[in-house]
Amino acid sequence: MKSLSILAATLAFSTAFGGAAFAQTDLTMWYHGAGSTVERDLINGIITDFNGSQTEWKVSLQEFPQAAYNDSVVAAAVAGNLPDIIDVDGPVMPNWAWAGYMQPLQLSEGALDGFLPGAIGTYNDQVYSVGLWDAAVAMYARKSTLEKFDIRMPTLEEPWTREEFDGILETLKASGEFEYPLNLGMADQGEWYPYAFAPFLWSFGGDLVDRTTYETAEGALNGDAAVEFGEWWQSLFTNNYVPGTSQDMADHETGFIDGDYALQWNGNWVAVNTLAALDDDVVFLPAPDFGNGPKIGGASWQFGVAATSAHPDGASAFIEFALQPKYLAAFSDGIGLIPATAEAAALTKNYAAGGALEAFYALSEQQAMLRPVTPGYVFEALEFRKALSDIANGADVVDALDAATDAINADIARNNNYAVAP
Amino acid sequence: MRPNRSKSLQSNTLAGWLMSGPALLLITLFLIVPFLLAFWFSFTNQRLISPNPTQFVGTSNFEQLLGVGALVLEPETAADGSLVVADDGELSYPRVREFTRNNPDFQHLNGMREWFGWDWGNSKVLVLARDLVFMKALTNTLFFVAVVAPLQSLIALLLALMINQKLLGINVFRTVYFMPVVVSIVVVSLLWRFIYDGRSGLLNNLLQFLSFGQFQPVDWLGNPDTAMWAIIVMSIWQAVGFHMVIWLAGLQNIPLTLYEAADIEGASSWQKFRFVTWPGLRNTAVLILVVITMQAFALFSQIDVMTNGGPLDSTQTLVFQAVQRGYEQQNIAGGSAISVLLFLMVLTISLVQRYVTRER
């Protein structure tokens, strides 16, 4: 009996001291990409490399499906159970930073040099998150279709104008060869609406909220420019140029490849598959210019550190480790996303000079505009989505935009103008 | 013997509490406490995510939800006092937003939206709502309950009468009718989305086939006129089996001797139903009516999966709005206020139903 307790004590001591001398401090990380084996392999690759590169930290990964990820983080934050490292959708970051879920990164000087602006998440002049990639949206078309209907190939310098674009839709519709001339992806009723369609509004000269103060949407979302946008938006549906809000997800995914839709407004994450199906017939064109320059949305998923993390230095060290060009390039090759730096782009198959997706890098660099950087964005996005759905379904344009404006203003007022808590 | 027995029952109260303990604990934890919290939150400005402290705001959440106003629109007149008539012969009216947005003379209407209205001579009388989406959710939910409660209980009763017969293989039919109940409502909703699909849905194809191609495809879930009906049909189909089984249990509790007596007296089938079956089903009927009403008020999953409240708010419901506000819009106070209103409504209706159907 006695020898047993001595043995136990010895074991306990040796574990405690031995652990202190050799074990690495555990860091947990949450990631939104459950279900994608490609992403899991990539992330796990980085984690293995990091854990092996030093003796201080040991990162372990927990994955969530994207649809449940934000809810999980919010629930964990309320319960005080956040991991050390989280990933966060760029436009949502200010909300979490404002709520006190996240803390600024501790990156070394110059760590973010050369990064695409959309990959850096700044709120209140501090960097809270950084992405290994950015995403971009482009107009997918087939060269053969453009040639057949004598449609000019737009360039970054000379994008389609509004008149030109409307005319193209009209021509494609009149040809009768397609079910719809354009697929906007109305089936994807999540963050896609504000991400993909707010740039049209920006190009018309409107916005989701007045960006000088972020305290009102009046005049931005229901001003003349926004109403003009709304009427154009509605015309797409009344003219049957695009499928409506009840579009089937399957049609959205395969419609362009099958030839049901002549054009498609879609993100670069489907580019790899589209290239595989259509080969070099597919081209990725810049957004049309509706008066205030062509725009697309910037910022995708990014990495940040939870406010409750006991080891922010270790968490930041991991994030900085992950920012190496080879990892940026690996993610790009794996899922087609835009590498966050030019250096990394040169290492990739698709974004290197002459690569099939090179156009996206230029799009991201030149046209990307961030969604409003404010904690209120989360609510603004919902109201914008509702207004666009209602207008597409035939609601009065002015009334729908007024309603969204009022709701956004009420939300901002309810939150003390989203002032940063003292 | 008798006093002894009642004493032995009472002496075991501890065991009774112990046995019901786990259930009571869970009910308290997951039903009573959350409800009390919701009740409290509905009088505050509680947010899901916020660094700001919670403040007590009185009844303003309820005023925001329930606020209504009236506006009489006079037709526009030309300079000489004559009415302006548009090309199509219609009178023209000023836009509602001129009164409801930043108009100092109509402060009390600020931010309201047109709900419904009617013509009054040359003028238009409009009822405005401060929270139009909530009002639509409220009317949609009441409409859903008003259609589903009687229809579903009636169909369930007919099915129960059908499968209560002693026929060969009747269990097959019982299984077939009951099957949708055991399938998750989310799965059923996803499947029915394919059935209702406007382009190549099963329903459109079927109707076209039956009408020899005369039928024009309808976008069932994408059309404000048909979306709610589509949800209603699918909801009735999914849950009817459950109530059918309860009816069936009630039917099988009716003593066969009563039917034999009725046969001897030469009663017709209708008379047997009217004077034997229906009185025997009284308690079952009360139960089913109350249960269906409560379930219908809780309409949520179908909306969340199939329509998201659209198109044009035609399928908004109270529970869907409560969840949307509380969770998606991070406005716990607003969602709580809707839950409290819903609770009060269901409670009132249940009490009325109990009173009307009480034993006399």
User: A420 vs chain B: nearest CA distance in angstroms?
Assistant: 8
User: B265 vs chain A: nearest CA distance in angstroms?
Assistant: 59
Cα separation, B304 vs B283, in Å, equals 34
Find out whether A345 and A352 touch, Cβ atoms under 8 Å: yes
> Residue A71 and residue B45: Cβ atoms within 8 Å?
no
Residue B358 has pLDDT above 50, yes or no: yes
> Residue B45 and residue A245: Cβ atoms within 8 Å?
no
Query: Token digits for A144?
Result: 């053969």
Cα separation, B99 vs B331, in Å, equals 28
Q: Does B131 touch chain A (CB under 8 A)?
A: no
Q: Which pLDDT score, from 0 to 100, does residue A190 have?
A: 83
Chain B residues within an 8 Å CB radius of A395:
312
Mean pLDDT is lowest, of A129-133, B35-39, B95-99, B134-138, for B95-99
Q: Does A307 touch chain B (CB under 8 A)?
A: no
- Residue A128: count of CB within 10 angstroms of its CB: 23
CA nearest to A378 within chain B: B329
Residue A37 has pLDDT above 60, yes or no: yes
Chain B residues within an 8 Å CB radius of A414:
45, 47, 331
Percentage of chain A modeled with pLDDT above 90: 61
Q: Does A399 touch chain B (CB under 8 A)?
A: yes
Per-residue confidence band for B203, with pLDDT thresholds at 50, 70 and 90: very high
Q: Does A398 touch chain B (CB under 8 A)?
A: yes
Q: What is the mean pLDDT of chain B?
A: 89
Q: Which pLDDT score, from 0 to 100, does residue A421 have?
A: 59
Residues 305-324 of B with CB under 8 A from A: 308, 310-313
Residue A17 has pLDDT above 50, yes or no: no
Chain A residues within an 8 Å CB radius of B47:
414-415
Inter-chain Cβ pairs, chain A and chain B, closer than 8 A: 73
**Higher pLDDT among residues A10 and B176, named by residue:** B176
Most confident option among A29-38, A256-265, A339-348 = A256-265
Note the pLDDT tens digit of each residue in B304-340: 999 888 799 999 999 999 999 998 888 999 999 999 9
CA nearest to A410 within chain B: B111
- Residue A149: count of CB within 10 angstroms of its CB: 14
- Write out the DSSP string of B128-170: EESSHHHHHHHHHHHHHHHHHHHHHHHHHHHHHHHHTS--TTH
Mean pLDDT is lowest, of A12-16, A304-308, B189-193, for A12-16
Query: Token digits for A349?
Result: 């198959």
Minimal CA–CA distance to A322: which of A140, A77, A146, A133?
Answer: A133
Enumerate residues 6+ apart whose C-beta is below 8 A from A216.
Answer: A209, A210, A409, A412
Give, in order, the Cα–Cα distances in Å from B193 to each of A20, A247, B226, B307: 58, 11, 13, 9
> Residue B97 and residue A403: Cβ atoms within 8 Å?
no
CA nearest to A74 within chain B: B49
Chain B residues within an 8 Å CB radius of A246:
197-198, 219, 221-222, 311
> Residue A244 and residue B219: Cβ atoms within 8 Å?
yes
pTM above 0.90, yes or no: no
Note the pLDDT tens digit of each residue in A242-278: 998 888 888 898 999 999 999 999 998 888 888 889 8
User: A273 vs chain B: nearest CA distance in angstroms?
Assistant: 25
- Residue B11: count of CB within 10 angstroms of its CB: 9
Q: Which pLDDT score, from 0 to 100, does residue B7 have?
A: 53
Note the pLDDT tens digit of each residue in B219-248: 899 889 999 999 999 999 999 999 999 999
Average pLDDT on A230-250 reads: 92
Q: Does B52 touch chain A (CB under 8 A)?
A: yes
Chain A residues within an 8 Å CB radius of B310:
245, 389-390, 393
Q: Which pLDDT score, from 0 to 100, does residue A20 have?
A: 44
> Residue B95 and residue A398: Cβ atoms within 8 Å?
yes
Percentage of chain B modeled with pLDDT above 70: 97
> Residue B50 and residue A415: Cβ atoms within 8 Å?
yes
CA nearest to B44 within chain A: A414
CA nearest to A71 within chain B: B327
Q: Which pLDDT score, from 0 to 100, does residue A82 have?
A: 93
Q: Which pLDDT score, from 0 to 100, does residue A14 have?
A: 47
Residues 226-285 of B with CB under 8 A from A: none
Per-residue confidence band for A22, with pLDDT thresholds at 50, 70 and 90: low
Of residues B95, B224, B308, nearest to A189 (C-beta):
B308
Cα separation, A139 vs A151, in Å, equals 14
Chain A residues within an 8 Å CB radius of B197:
246, 248
Q: Which pLDDT score, from 0 to 100, does residue A356 have?
A: 82
Q: Which pLDDT score, from 0 to 100, does residue B9 have?
A: 56
Minimal CA–CA distance to A196: which of A254, A117, A244, A137?
Answer: A137
Q: Does B60 touch chain A (CB under 8 A)?
A: no
Q: Which pLDDT score, from 0 to 100, does residue B181 have?
A: 92
Q: Establish whether this prediction's ipTM goes over 0.95.
A: no
Q: Which pLDDT score, from 0 to 100, does residue A404 have?
A: 95
Chain B residues within an 8 Å CB radius of A399:
96-97, 113-114
Cα separation, A381 vs A104, in Å, equals 24
Q: Which pLDDT score, from 0 to 100, does residue B316 have?
A: 94
